[in-house]
Structure 1
């Protein structure tokens, strides 16, 4: 299959439903169209309302996802039907994702500057229990390139499919980390496609993007006062 037959997927993206993001769903859809994004996974922090909102207006495929804060670090669930609360164990979170027919992805697993990453010993434990479907081998917000490389090497050693994600919290970040996938119509086909995925547009975002997330948190707190 040539790359012309593949779809360009943005698999880690936030909206204003995340507390550290100000991107409006309607504007995000337009940005994706402008940038040639054909599949978009909305992975808000501990929320899925934004994903359903985007899905209701987007003319392209939208995967309902959630970046969930477990007690031992973050996991992403794709193809979710229901919200999953934060604060569960990593195992319980992964099992809940799977109970919904979803896909378990581990974001930024070796980002040495991100305290929210899943602890390595927990990742090992989940893999042993067959609770990890995908590893995010490239995250545009990972500051050190070698941390992404470590994730890619680790995933290869475990035989786990990899994807890229921009982890976009601002419009310019959208599409900086995308994945080329074979067309799919459900979670099972998505996972099969991920096994032959091509990581593309793998560009690190400049570190000031993290300041934008901090500003978003402040702006929302001020608005609530």
Structure 2
């Protein structure tokens, strides 16, 4: 029997406004921590993920965390970046057109672009999964609420560290059978075995520092 993959579904690089992590460093840290598959999901762009994938094509999947007019969506196997501030329906349609796997980021974390229940109910039939554990949630009840929603609506769960710093990489992963592409991921996602741990609230201070530093010292190029 083939060994299971340890999959990180949600992490960021310096391409995100609130992270200072270089893609190459992210890949190296994931390898050091035993993460077999790293889905890089920068905010509203994929250039950081492409840079990470160039360093480790067998380990990295290009993803994106997309801000819609109602909340955020988390996608894997993205070929073309989807811009922010489209309606959820338009965002999902653009992701479906390229065959991406779609989850919903920290759906009940209203401090971080969480979803209102009517909007979440509207998109539930059109997504592949719900993020049922996000290591950056300050209130464990937010994750419990997400897990309960997924169960009620017969959706599988993803988990993610939502790493914006190297110290967070691998704090929330799923053990899964190996997969290649979004269709295979949809087939195996129900078999996921979560390995999760909440991060300290101080990680949000590090993201705030990253945003401040980029405003005060705008980088000429990322990394």
Cα deviations by residue, 1:3-25 (Å, 9 ceiling, x for unpaired): x7210001000000000000011
- Determine if contact 2:71/2:107 at 8 Å carries over to the other structure: no
Q: Does 1:150 align with 2:145?
A: yes
Q: Distance in 2 between matches of 1:105 and 1:138?
A: 12
1:162-187 alpha-carbon deviations (Å, 9 max, x no partner): 01100000001001011111101111
Q: Are the equivalent residues in 1 in contact too, given 2:130–2:158 (CA < 8 A)?
A: yes
Aligned runs of 1:1-225 on 2, under 5 Å? 5-58=3-56, 60-114=58-112, 116-127=113-124, 130-200=125-195, 202-224=196-218
Distance (Å, rounded) in 1 between the aligned partners of 2:88 and 2:176:
27
| Structure 2 gaps, min length 5 | none
Per the TM alignment, residue 59 of structure 1 is displaced from its structure 2 partner at its CA by: 5.6
Shift of 1:223: 1.2
Preserved contact between residue 13 and residue 44 of structure 1 (Cα < 8 Å):
yes
**Distance in 1 of aligned mates of 2:116 and 2:30:** 32
Using the alignment, how far apart are the partners of 1:59 and 1:133 within structure 2? 24
Stretches of 4+ moved more than 6 A in 1? none
How far the C-alpha of 1:60 sits from its partner, in A, is: 3.6
- Name the CA distance, whole Å, in 1 between partners of 2:107 and 2:204: 18
Separation in 1 of the partners of 2:76 and 2:39? 7
Query: How many pairs are equivalent?
Result: 219
* Offset from partner CA, 1:130-177 (integer Å, 9 cap, x none): 311110000000011111111111101111010110000000100101
Q: Would you say the 8 A contact 1:78–1:102 is kept in 2?
A: yes
Deviation for aligned residue 1:124: 0.3
**For the residues of structure 2 that align with 1:69 and 1:133, how far apart are their CA atoms?**
17
Q: Quote the offset at 1:112 in angstroms.
A: 4.0
Q: Summarize deviations over 1:28-63 as a string: whole Å, max 9, x none.
A: 111011100000000000110011100000164211
User: How many Å separate the matches in 1 of 2:161 and 2:58?
Assistant: 18
Distance 1:173 1:14 in 2: 10
SS in 1 for 2:118: helix
TM-score where L is the length of structure 2: 0.95
Query: TM-score, normalised to structure 1's length?
Result: 0.94
